[in-house]
Structure 1
Amino acid sequence: MLDQGAPPHNGQPAAPPSLGVGARLMRRKPVELLVAEGGRGDGGSLRRSLGLWQLTMISIGATLGTGIFVVLGEAVPKAGPAVTLSFVIAGLTALFSALSYAELAGTIPVSGSSYSYAYATMGELIAWICGWCLMLEYGVSVAAVAVGWGEYLNELLDGTIGVTLPAALSAPPGDGGVFNLPALIVVLLAMAFLMGGARESARANTIMVVVKIAALVLFCAIGVQGFRSGNYENFMPLGMAGVSAAGATLFFSYIGFDAASTKK
């Protein structure tokens, strides 16, 4: 009788049993393998082109772009003057999320953000879902910023030279628009910056972030002179429900910390 543990007659070890569908979907990739693959390109190692300063500016730029210039107009009607509390709630929530991202980034020092973290901890299926959620997140945020930029451009043209783009070419489809030309232009400009290279686009982003910060500081310096305590009457027009709803909207403006872990 043959020994059950003996190798086959050809001297080769038996092949490991194939994994089932469920096991393949939930298999995890070791951190060591993720780190090793992250340092390889086509025939060589990838050159690191973004440092701490560039990644910080990308994160700040994402937050200032959506939170201050776009999302605020959606949150104020819900919270009224209590939008300040909504910012605090959203900021604290984002703070704890960012701390979790920081710990995961230190444990799994690779690019890919939640996709890589989920692949190493929860399995391939969850990582696949997280990856597509990231694609949706950035797609929605880019669309929101592009549409907001188009509205600001239309107001600038109307206030300076008295020219207003027709709604069919400047408004989103939900507001009567057919083709949002300014939004398309800003997306194409961003694409042109990115095609120039990671380092060059990061440099352009840093310049724009400095300009935005300077504009906000100037706005605060001028706006504080017109402070009126009476503007805070009816502080919570919709109560805490409005404050929490506005906080959920404003959390969209804090996704900048995710950009750092995606590109590092």
Structure 2
Amino acid sequence: MAEPVALKRSLSLPVISFYGIGTIIGAGVYVLVGKVGAEAGAQLPYAFLLAGLIAAFTALSYAEFSSRVPTSAGSAAYIHEAWHRRRLTQFVGLMVAATGIVSAATIANGFVGYLEIFVQVPGFLAITGLIVLLTLIALWGINQSALTVTLITLIEVGGLLFVIYATRNSAPVLAWGEIFTVPERGALAGVLVGSFLAFYAFIGFEDMVNVAEEVKNPRRALPLAILIAICCSTFLYMALAALAVRTMPVAELAESSAPLASMVKNAGYSPGFIGVISMFAVVNGALVQIIMASRLLYGMAKRDLAPQAFARIHPKTHTPVLATILVGVIILALALWFPLTVLAKATSFIMLVVFCLVNISLIRIKLRGDAADAGLICFPLWVPIVGFLLCFALVLLQI
């Protein structure tokens, strides 16, 4: 009997770092800068900094887990390692799938704003056309290689750098001192609410652990890549946020359906270039989420954690047809019925619950004294404790 084929370990530290940056920097920042600004006002950079710090502690927990359990099952595997509870593992798996579905609906909503730069199309028609097209592509069997992901990352980061370059000499609306002054007590509530919304733009680092079985020396490379991705993303987000409130009135920024294009236009450049890049980021982000959610349902069904119908594979396309169609239908319904801000907050809320569970699971493993292998990357107990408290505080804030 032939041995089962294993995944090829081919991803180096630089490649997996680029992959991580690509999973974080996507459609979120292209769409949400204005909405976060509506909450945080002139302190917009602080909202992104706070969101980055909150994400960083949980990212450290994921980094240690990726060193302890270097498998591709991600969050569900970490929960199972700590608790060995079938229903809890099912719950986490479904929560992660729900995050992908709601995230794709959020992205689809943001797509309309950038499409309007080139052509006026009714919102419902643009959203429906986009989701149907991407679902068909997912059914066809698209597989993105690490090279493709790296290229997309370079394009998206290049778009952000172009916005920073284009707006560097724009007439200032606010002075740097007003932007980076420590928020007063009255402004803290807006920064906190804004950070909850901005947290959506950092979601993605947890997806890095799903390629653990394709990383060279994952116990060392994957934790380092997670930290590199979080740090680079936070720096870019803060620079972009600072330029946004410096060059545009907050009210105008909040009203824009394509905030980065508006920044470029105000600086005297054509918004067409950044509009194309933004649409590319939006379309790619939604497709990745559709594939992720459908494959997660397929994987759970194979392990009897979801209905067996989701495990059926089309003989020609080799894709989980029912799971993909179901994901596409739910995304379309959510995108048509709920506004972008509601969807982004729902995505953040669901992911924060998962992050709370992952942090608690690492606390449990540390407290029960599970043996650590040589070369394992470990962080102090207070890291997952702080990660849990920060995520739980944001959950309570939303409730």
Distance 2:84 2:44 in 1: 39
Alignment match, 1:166: 122
The AA in structure 2 aligned to 1:214 is G
Output one character per residue of 1:141-178: Cα deviation in whole Å (capped at 9) or x when no partner. 1221232123312x232xxxxx31123413xxxxxxxx
Q: How many residues align?
A: 205
Look up the SS of the partner of 2:169 in the other structure: helix
1:59-87 C-alpha deviation (Å, 9 max, x unpaired): 22232213311222321111112110000
Question: Separation in 1 of the partners of 2:141 and 2:16?
Answer: 18
Residue aligning to 2:209: 261
Which of 172, 178, 181 is equivalent to 1:228?
172
Counterpart position of 2:18 = 57
Q: Give the aligned partner of residue 182 of structure 1.
A: 130
- Counterparts of 1:15-34 in structure 2, within 5 Å, are none
Aligned to 1:245: 193
**SS state at 1:48 partner:** coil
TM-score (normalizing by structure 2): 0.47
| Mapped pair 1:197 → 2:143 | yes
1:58 shift after superposition: 3.2
Tell me which stretches of 4 or more aligned residues in structure 1 moved more than 4 Å. Answer: 186-189, 231-238
Identical-residue share of aligned pairs (%): 23
Please name the residue that 1:27 is paired with: none
**For residues 79 and 184 of structure 1, do their structure 2 counterparts lie closer, same or farther at Cα, with a shift above 3 Å needed?**
farther
Which of 158, 162, 165 lines up with 1:214 in the alignment?
158
State the shift of 1:186 in Å.
Answer: 4.4
Superposed CA deviations along residues 100-133 of structure 1, whole A, max 9, x for unmatched, are: 0010110111111110001111122222211111
Match of 1:127 in 2: 89
Q: Is 1:63–1:253's contact at 8 Å kept on the other side of the alignment?
A: yes
Q: 2:28 aligns with which of 41, 55, 67?
A: 67
1:116 aligns with 77
CA distance 1:68–1:120, shift in 2 (3 Å) = same
Task: Establish whether residue 140 from structure 1 lines up as the match of residue 86 from structure 2.
Answer: no
Shift of 1:258: 0.5
Alpha-carbon spacing, 1:167–1:103, altered in 2? closer, same or farther (3 Å): closer
> Judging changes above 3 Å, is the alpha-carbon distance between structure 1 residues 186 and 220 closer, same or farther for their aligned structure 2 residues?
farther
2:141 partner letter: M
User: Structure 1: which 5+ runs fail to align?
Assistant: 1-41, 158-162, 171-178
1:46 aligned partner: 6
- SS of the aligned residue for 1:180 comes to helix
Alpha-carbon separation, structure 1, partners of 2:199 and 2:10: 26
Three-state SS of the structure 2 residue aligned to 1:226 is: coil
Amino acid at match of 1:107: R
Shift of 1:219: 1.3
**1:6 aligned partner:** none
For residues 223 and 250 of structure 1, the distance between their equivalents in structure 2, rounded to whole angstroms, comes to 21
TM-score norm. by structure 1 comes to 0.68
Relative to structure 1, is the Cα distance of residues 167 and 109 closer, same or farther in structure 2, using a 3 angstrom cutoff?
A: closer
The answer to whether the Cα contact below 8 Å between 2:28 and 2:107 also exists between their aligned partners in 1 is no
- Runs of 5+ unmatched residues, structure 2: 213-399
Q: CA RMSD of the aligned region, Å?
A: 2.7
Distance 1:186 1:203 in 2: 21
Decide whether the 8 Å contact of 2:20 with 2:208 is kept in 1: yes
